Amino acid sequence: MKVSLYSLSCADKSPAEVIALARKYRCDGIEWWCRENGHIDARDPEKSAEDIGRLMEDAQMEVSGLAPYFKFNESSREIARVFKVAKILKTSRVRCHSYAFTGETPFRELMDRQISWLEKEVLPVTGEFGMQLNIEQHHNMICCTPNACLQMVEKFHPERIGIIYDPGNTLFEGYTRINYTFSVMGRYINHVHVKSARYVAEGGSVPSGRRYPMEFGTLEKGDLDWEEIIKQLNAIGYKGFLSLEALDARDSETKLREDIPFLKGILEKYGGK
């Protein structure tokens, strides 16, 4: 397993500054945020990707993924542009959320709509570019549980569509035992986001249907047992990236200083660097 940083964790930093921090804390790669005014600026993504690609080569770091924000109505031509950007960055992994679930539209309708989009617009392009689209497990979206993630992808080959396992998100919605999650997602697990949260007396946000607020923060003090998660990832033969997605209120360098050594310390026990 390798350690990556999702660049949105350092949203206040320039791409060069993100790379410098990632190198300082010995990350193996960076997953790049792609949105208007993001590190990969969606208004001119090719230019952003070319600039960042050169910086990454100079730093001898791997691009662990590209994280655009699809609306699920993009045409194959628009999707092809995103994959061209991923190719410039020399990564084959492109992130994709799922529809937000508000209760206004039934789950089944949203699931069918997104699967249809994947089948008609995305899959032909992933095959052409040799890319893999990865559906992120995410609270407040239809793919909040391992079963829903599998339902989204199971008719497609895992070389073309995978799953991003994000146990930090499941603390807010969709948590299941690790061995159950891995049994459901199986060979579709292609990327892992790393974060944690804990219950707090004040602040935070209250998950729907519950009483007490939770707040994202350090891996060490959060509610997830990352040692057990990594131990079980190792047991199923996962060799991919563990990408730190720290979107809490700590400043950028504090996130890396507190979380990356903690993560690397666990990996030393279970076959990582």
DSSP letter, residue 126: H
pLDDT greater than 90 at residue 270: no
Length of the chain: 273
Please compute the mean of the pLDDT values over residues 208-230 and round it to a whole number. 96
The H-or-E segment that residue 133 falls in is strand 132-136
Q: Are 223 and 196 in contact (CB under 8 A)?
A: yes
The helix (H) or strand (E) run that includes residue 150 is helix 146-153
Amino acid at 147: N
Would the pTM count as exceeding 0.85? yes
pLDDT average, residue stretch 29-50: 97
pLDDT given for residue 34 in this prediction: 98
Res. 18 pLDDT band, cuts 50 70 90: very high
167 pLDDT more than 70: yes
Two tokens, residue 224: 């997830």
Distance of alpha carbon 84 from alpha carbon 77, whole angstroms: 11
Domains and CATH numbers, the chain: 2-267 (3.20.20.150)
Query: DSSP letter at 137?
Result: P
Nearest to 148 by CA among 166, 169, 174: 174
pLDDT value at residue 271: 60
Q: Which residues contact 92 (CB under 8 A, 6 or more apart)?
A: 86, 130, 131, 132
Which residues on neighbouring strands pair with residue 4, listed in sequence order? 29, 243
Q: What share of the chain has pLDDT > 70, as a percent?
A: 99
Is pLDDT above 60 for 210?
A: yes
Mean pLDDT score across all residues of the chain: 96
* Residue 272 binned pLDDT confidence (cut-offs 50, 70, 90): low
Backbone angles phi, psi at 188, to 5 degrees: -80, -15
